[in-house]
Amino acid sequence: MRTLYPAITPFRTHQVAVDDLHTLFVEECGNPDGIPVVFLHGGPGAGVSPTHRRFFDPLRYRIVLIDQRGSGRSTPFGELRDNTTQHLVADVEIIRELLGIDRWLVFGGSWGSTLALAYAQAHPERATGVIVRGVYLGRAEENRWFAEADGGARWIFPERWARYEAYIPEEERGDMIAAYWRRLDSPDEATRIAAAQAWLGWEDHAATLEHDVDAVSADDPLHTLAKARIEAHYFRNHAFLEPGQLLRDIDRIRHLPGVIVQGRYDIICPARSAWDLACAWPEASLQMVVSGHSATEPATADALVRATDAFAGRQ
């Protein structure tokens, strides 16, 4: 089994003003003269962590990591205005041009897989390949699977679901995303924070194959609130994508090398989405591994490091 590369620190960071409101934090790691790759984080709203640098050989890759709008070290933190998939796609292009990169490998997991596919389809001439993990296609049925009472995830993690559901009055449980949004957008900060903690208490602790069903997040409440609000903002707007858009437009990237890594027992982004993507994109390599959603579970980390190493070996 391959493991992640050793921890590294950035050789350069940037504060990039992409418009009059948003300034994005960008870091570059690895080899300044290496193979360019852009890492697109999940959430949406989760931000970049030091672990994300470690999926790539630092001797062979110039690793660019972006805190998306409202996320991580980007400002304004938690901002929802002018925060859509189309804005994020445009931001990636702004950063590519700023860094003087002609083409780069596009790598994303979970929500990052959505953004990676949307970006590559919008700018196929700027991508050298696509690696996605824990596939999320922004479809209504995917949101329903995980977040709604008629979905399937509640049957897998009933202890966690009970807490997520209990926060919402019974008469509002027919549309859990809308019910949570009303509270996440409340004028009362305490209500917003409590809703965010309940929302992420369900999601964050369903990410791994094995976990403590009673674990409680120790994250800063305001960071929890920002991530939950950005997620709900995207979910309630169907990821700002047209129905079936990412599968419909797959022909735009079928000529590119592609790897799809999917946890067989991923409860957050179930394997059906990766399968549907692979059926639409038969040229891509689909690797189903025995893991859940987290990118750092051993089988998933192994597959991702092997994928980035193989891509580097072709260059």
* Runs of H (alpha helix) within the chain: 85-98, 111-122, 140-147, 158-166, 176-184, 189-203, 221-236, 245-248, 271-280, 298-314
DSSP state of 75: B
Question: Residue 200's closest CA among 174, 222, 172?
Answer: 222
Q: Are 144 and 150 in contact (CB under 8 A)?
A: yes
CA distances from 96 to 64, 100, 192 (A): 9, 6, 36
Q: Which residue has the tokens 């003087």?
A: 100
| Secondary structure of residue 91 in the 3-state scheme | helix
Contacts of 191 (CB under 8 A, 6+ apart): 183
Known active-site residue 205: no
Q: Are residues 298 and 263 in contact, defined by beta-carbon separation less than 8 angstroms? A: no
- The single residue of 22, 41, 205, 293 carrying the catalytic annotation is 293
Query: Which residues, including other chains, have CB under 8 Å from residue 158's CB and lie 6 or more apart?
Result: none
Strand pairing partners for 129? 105
At 146 the three-state DSSP class reads: helix
Residue 47 tokens, joined: 């931000």
28 close to 48: Cβ distance less than 8 angstroms: no
* Active-site pick, 67, 266, 273, 291: 266
Length of the chain: 315
3-state class of 138 per DSSP?
coil
Among 15, 147, 17, smallest CA distance to 82 is for 17
* 251 is an active site residue: no
Catalytic residue among 74, 110, 273, 291: 110
Active site residue 52: no
Report, as residue numbers or ranges, the catalytic residues: 110, 266, 293
